[in-house]
């Protein structure tokens, strides 16, 4: 995006009341006519900016830009560089391409639309334009490749913490789904590039349904889905949600690098709705039922099935006795 338009949007997004053309022009070192032209261009791009006679401009659309994010993030590692794309295949793929081109740890990629958004277990992920948040972050931790699943659980704890601020009634479901009343509102896809013994890049991709799209969810989504605004009872913005996630990830990642996985495992177990409960665990071969007894260092769920502990590595679970 043009840097002046990005700066105008960031200034408007940071104010709950209209901002005058004079104030924008003075603060950004542009002429009033220049501001007006940029506002017109953005309106043509579909960004809704209201004019209030004698008071100025007010942003109405739920847009995101690098300057909006950077303006509200202090010296965080995560989000030290932010890129926002109008359309991209997948923010995870873009983050990996940037990683291969040498991008630094902390890069955050956001897109308004993903043409091939990806979910766990080879599924696709639908990003509703301007109603969903698709965000990927690049990490380059100095850890063994086997420990990368721990980062996925760290992200689940951070996401749960961040979204709970808006919607305290949400829950976490193994391995890293965020649920509300049995319907999914957010998920995480973690991917890695490396070689034996060495991690080069980890991309943590987070998808959040911010609000129900005006035309509803596409029919091909077979899972029960809901959204954060419904769960919280008010219309939330992608910007506030992204900022909350980045800040929670920053805290969690720093703690992980100093204190290791143990505190994260404890926090995950506490947040996990099915801890100690009866679940049905599905994988490609079928399903088993048992009591969710623990989470191990690899992120596997340990199920007590007919008196024996079984490790469950990949799949989905269903809660059986939560009513
Ligand atoms: C899941 O299946 O629950 C994981 C969904 C992860 C979706 C996000 S959206 C941002 C990032 N880019 C992708 O292509 N996938 C992840």
From first to last of the 323 residues of the chain, give the pLDDT tens digit.
Answer: 788 998 999 899 888 899 999 999 999 999 999 999 999 999 998 889 999 988 999 998 888 989 889 888 988 999 999 999 989 999 999 999 999 999 999 999 999 999 999 999 888 998 988 899 999 999 999 999 999 999 999 999 999 999 999 999 999 999 899 999 999 999 999 999 999 999 999 999 999 999 998 888 888 888 899 999 999 999 899 999 999 999 999 999 999 999 999 999 999 999 999 999 999 999 888 899 999 999 998 889 999 999 999 999 888 898 887 54
Q: How many residues does the structure list for the chain?
A: 323
Atom of ligand 1 nearest to the CA of 127: 9
Please tell me if the domain spanning 3-59 has the same topology as the one spanning 274-319. no
DSSP three-state, residue 253: helix
Is the previous residue joined to 175 through a cis bond, with omega within 30 degrees of 0?
Answer: yes
pLDDT at 160: 97
Q: Which two tokens stand for residue 83?
A: 């890129």
- Assign a CATH topology to domain 3-59: Arc Repressor Mutant, subunit A (1.10.10)
Indicate the domain borders of the chain.
3-59, 66-259, 274-319
Q: Please check whether residue 137 is in contact with residue 106, taking contact to mean a CB–CB distance below 8 angstroms.
A: yes
pTM: 0.91
Distance of alpha carbon 310 from alpha carbon 290, whole angstroms: 9
Helix, strand or coil for residue 313?
Answer: coil
Fold of 274-319: SH3 type barrels. (2.30.30)
Q: What is the pLDDT of residue 322?
A: 56
Choose one of 131, 159, 174, 206 to mutate for the ligand 1 pocket test, by most ligand atoms within 8 angstroms of C-beta: 206
| Pocket-forming residues, ligand 1, beta carbon under 6 Å | 90-92, 114, 117-120, 123, 125, 134-136, 177, 187-189, 205-207
β pairing state of 82-88 and 108-114: parallel
d(CA 200, CA 317): 31
Q: For the domain made up of 66-259, give the CATH fold.
A: BirA Bifunctional Protein; domain 2 (3.30.930)
User: What is the model's pLDDT at position 323?
Assistant: 47
Nearest residue (CA) to ligand 1, atom 16: 205
Q: Which atom of ligand 1 is nearest to the CA of 132?
A: 9
Helix (H) or strand (E) holding 259: helix 238-259
Closest CA to 69 of 214, 301, 254, 237: 237
């Amino acid at each position: 995006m043009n840097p002046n338009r990005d700066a105008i949007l960031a200034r408007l997004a940071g104010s709950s009341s209209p901002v005058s053309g004079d104030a924008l022009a003075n603060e950004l070192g542009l002429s009033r006519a220049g501001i007006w032209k940029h506002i017109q261009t953005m309106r043509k791009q579909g960004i809704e900016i209201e004019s209030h006679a004698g008071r100025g401009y007010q942003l109405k659309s739920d847009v995101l830009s690098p300057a909006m994010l950077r303006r509200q993030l202090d010296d965080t590692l995560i989000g030290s560089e932010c890129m926002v794309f109008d359309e991209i295949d997948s923010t995870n793929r873009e983050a990996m391409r940037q990683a291969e081109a040498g991008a630094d740890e902390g890069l955050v990629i956001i897109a308004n639309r993903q043409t091939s958004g990806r979910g766990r277990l080879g599924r696709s992920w639908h990003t509703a334009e301007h109603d969903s948040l698709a965000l990927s972050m690049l990490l380059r931790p100095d850890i063994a490749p086997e420990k990368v699943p721990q980062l996925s659980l760290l992200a689940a704890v951070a996401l749960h913490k961040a979204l709970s601020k808006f919607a305290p009634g949400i829950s976490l479901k193994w391995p890293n789904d965020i649920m509300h009343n049995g319907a999914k509102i957010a998920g995480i896809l973690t991917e890695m590039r490396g070689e034996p013994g060495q991690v080069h890049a980890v991309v943590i991709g987070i998808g959040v349904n911010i609000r129900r799209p005006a035309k509803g969810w596409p029919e091909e989504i077979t899972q029960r889905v809901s959204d954060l605004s419904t769960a919280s009872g008010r219309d939330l913005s992608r910007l506030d949600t992204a900022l909350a996630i980045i800040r929670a990830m920053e805290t969690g990642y720093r703690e992980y690098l100093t204190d290791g996985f143990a505190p994260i495992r404890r926090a995950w177990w506490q947040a996990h709705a099915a801890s100690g409960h009866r679940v049905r665990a599905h994988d490609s071969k079928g399903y088993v039922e048992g009591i969710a007894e623990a989470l191990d260092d690899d992120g596997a769920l340990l199920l007590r099935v007919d008196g024996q502990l079984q490790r469950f590595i990949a799949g989905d679970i269903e809660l059986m006795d939560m009513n």
